[in-house]
A and B are shown apart, each in its own frame.
Chain A
Amino acid sequence: MTSIWKIKIILLAVILAVTTMAGIQLYRHRHFQVPFLAGPGVTKVVSLSDYAKGLKGTMADTYVFFLEGKKEGGKALILGNTHSNEPAALLSSLIFLENAVMDKGTLIIIPQFNNSGSRSTRPGDGYPLYFDISTPWGKKTFRMGNRDASPVDQWPDPDVYIHYPDRMLLSFLDVRNTNRTWPGRADGPLMEQVTFGAMEIMKHENVDIAIDIHGAETMFPVTNCIVAPDKSMRIATMTSLIIKAKEGFESHVEPSPSKFRGLSHREIGDYCDTLPFLLEAPLPFLDQPTGPKTVDLLLDGKDPFLLSLSKKKKLFVPYDENGWPMANRVGQHCSVILELIRQYSRKKPDRAIKIQNVPRYADVIKNGVGFYFQDPLKKDKKNIYYN
């Protein structure tokens, strides 16, 4: 055997070893199950495929939890992980799922809205595969996902995505982005079916308000805010003013642009009676000029480059040595959601929604996010839903 062949065989063995090791890690990540614990308020659990049949048996199908109060009232829908690389959304919706008790009205929660995206990675962007949240009973591990659905579940992409029904041209990647495929179609690409399923829930259940939770870069102007169309603007403005006055944090209001199609805050309001709101909390991990993309950066949001840019006034949010920790982001979402619902209930007393037992901003900062997660080992198995 010549030396060149020996080198080729050694290189082939190295490639096989590296590929196998990586393949196992990526396979485990895609199939890793996170326990969602149905709290005392949960009265019914269904699948999104019950509203969009095409999702049945696919990785895009996901759980829909109903928390129904004894008294009739309005209905609110919470969407978490529309973008699965913005994990404060999932954590906030799980706090509602595991703790909320309804006095009046109904809360519908879809914690993992883009389930396919949560089982995917973001090639080229060097994300960690998992992150842990400390709890009083140990660590709870979550998958770190991607903004878009996995190409394993929806492929190929078109050369350009033509939005349904407005025909606006969007990036080819947006065909897998569940915040560009609203209002969706029953027989469209898989992610259009996901948003179609959510629209069906809103129409069939007469949902009054829908809240889509996100995270955004500190260098992005639309961050730390509530995005709302005209019809939701009054409630959003009142919420912003009240939380600033009572809880001391900023969440300004941004108008939903009428010509930018496919977004939840635009299409939900245009295609059904539900009032949509999109929440953005700062997420330094997503910024481009940061150090390594580590779990620490994801959780505490501390970065020296961003700190320096903040001093040069190039960020859109206040930023200091404390970074922007996960507890602040999750706490902010919890408070804004509770206040949006309260404001809506004040405006429409006959459709009021009353929720108990959900922590607010100061509580989450004081106790940490994990404090509000229950131990799966101490929970009746029938109340655990693996996703």
Chain B
Amino acid sequence: MVLAYTVAKWRKLSVETSMLSAAVTGGLAGAFIRTPPIGELARHLVEGSFTYLDVILVFTTATIFMAIVSESGGIDYVVRGTIKYFYNFRLIVLLLLMFIILIPGALTGAGSVSILVVGAPVALAFGYLGISKRRAAAILFIVAGLSAAAPPVNIWAMILSAGTAIPYVGFELPLGIPVLILGTFTVLVLGWKRESSRDKESVLKDMPEVPGSMTWWKVLLPFLTFFGLISVYRIWPFSFPILGLSLQFVIAAIVALLVSPKRINILVLSRDTIKRLLPLLTTMIIVGMLQQIMTATGVRGLLSYAVISTPLILLFFLLALIIPFSEGVLTYGGAAIIGIPLIWFLDSIGFHATIAIAGLSLLWPLGDGLPPTALIGRLSVMVSKYEGSYWRFLRTTWLPWIVITLTGILMIIFSSKLEFLVRWSM
């Protein structure tokens, strides 16, 4: 599989096509010893392609929703407002923007939703604050990743809790405190320095015009609809129907369309949005296929075995690599393949499972910037309109990356000493 991937990359095929070649080659190689039988190979590939269907639907509907808000002039309006009122209060404006990124991901458990919903306007605001596109993309990537780890919804922790029969309770402080500290550290380290300086009036003059009839309510209403639908289910879970994130985004998109001061051709906008998202959606489909083939052939088990067999001290050092890379290759699949046996193992030798899960949860989002998927990294680059080298963007995140890694690993090592955070959360 590795060879097929390497050859495909050497032939300058895209990441998606290279991963597909790895999956098909792995399946064919496995079929020689009936793992899986050749007659089952097509089924494994197609079944695997459905692994992340829900995530794909959320990406698609969230992006169309945001595209409507953007097309209506809402983003320009928000950015103009932020700059107008907070341009001279750098600490406040940076923290405010950090919270704006944290909220959607914390509520949905998906950092990508943060980027898709608020990424573009926040990136523009960073630009007007004198932060380069590269640094803006870096802040978005790290903070959106932290938003996915933030309570109340942390999908890695939920997968691990479900797989290890540990209740998904008591995570508020073990996740909330490090996310807020690390988020603040990130925006200050990457955003404090003003790389270009302009006065507020000239910035406001250069900003795109907004439709005259645009108001705060017209911008807020679609977002209020979305968060309102999420909140209503949280408040009245037993009387409000389960809509799912995709339908919630569709309803919010319809509201955005209805309140837009500009006439929007929804068919053209949807077509262009899907075209833009296609590489990302393809990656998700092929990661699912790859995951299925790796399991059917035993490669996934081998990787999992290698992790669990590693001596404990070495394992702690290797977590800095293993966890982000597992996310880069398998996205949430990494939590199931490596995380579940790892937590069982740590739990059995006296580590506190809830804190250890919280610590691991800080490391996984870093992998969303790593190829082949690089899910949040690519989205961050896309919405911030950074056009330079991807690796250069990734290198910009080095300091927050190291601090987050150390925090996560230290939380695991000292999990039993941090157990009070779980008690205080309950």
Contacts and interface: CB of A to CB of B under 8 A. Distances in A.
A332 interface: no
A135 interface: no
Interface string A164-189: 11011111111101000000010011
Interface string B111-151: 00000000000000000000000000000000000000000
A221 B344 contact: yes
B377 to A, nearest CB: 22
B301 to A, nearest CB: 4
Interface residues of A, number: 60
Given A165-B238, A169-B168, A156 B162 contact: no
A330 B109 CA distance: 39
Given A129-B43, A260-B167, A288-B341, A171 B51 contact: no
Contact of A170 (B155, B168, B233, B245): B168
A155 B244 contact: yes
Contacts of A188: 238
Contacts of B293: 126
B239 to A, nearest CB: 10
A89 B35 CA distance: 26
A175 B54 CA distance: 14
B158 A172 contact: yes
Interface in A267-306: 287-294, 305
A318 interface: no
Contact of B348 (A123, A155, A158, A221): A221
Contacts of B338: 288
A129 B46 CA distance: 14
A131 interface: no
Nearest to A168: B169
A316 to B, nearest CB: 7
Interface string A233-267: 00000000000000000000000010111000000
Interface stretch (A16-24, A37-45, A194-202): A16-24
Given A219-B341, A305-B305, A125 B292 contact: yes
A170 B300 CA distance: 26
Contacts of A159: 107-109, 153, 230, 233, 244-245
A262 B407 CA distance: 33
Given A22-B45, A25-B43, A170-B168, 12 more contacts: A26-B46, A123-B292, A159-B107, A159-B109, A160-B158, A167-B237, A168-B168, A171-B162, A174-B162, A257-B167, A293-B298, A312-B309
17 contacts: A22-B43, A25-B43, A124-B291, A124-B292, A125-B295, A158-B233, A159-B109, A160-B109, A168-B168, A171-B168, A172-B155, A188-B238, A220-B165, A288-B304, A290-B298, A290-B301, A291-B35
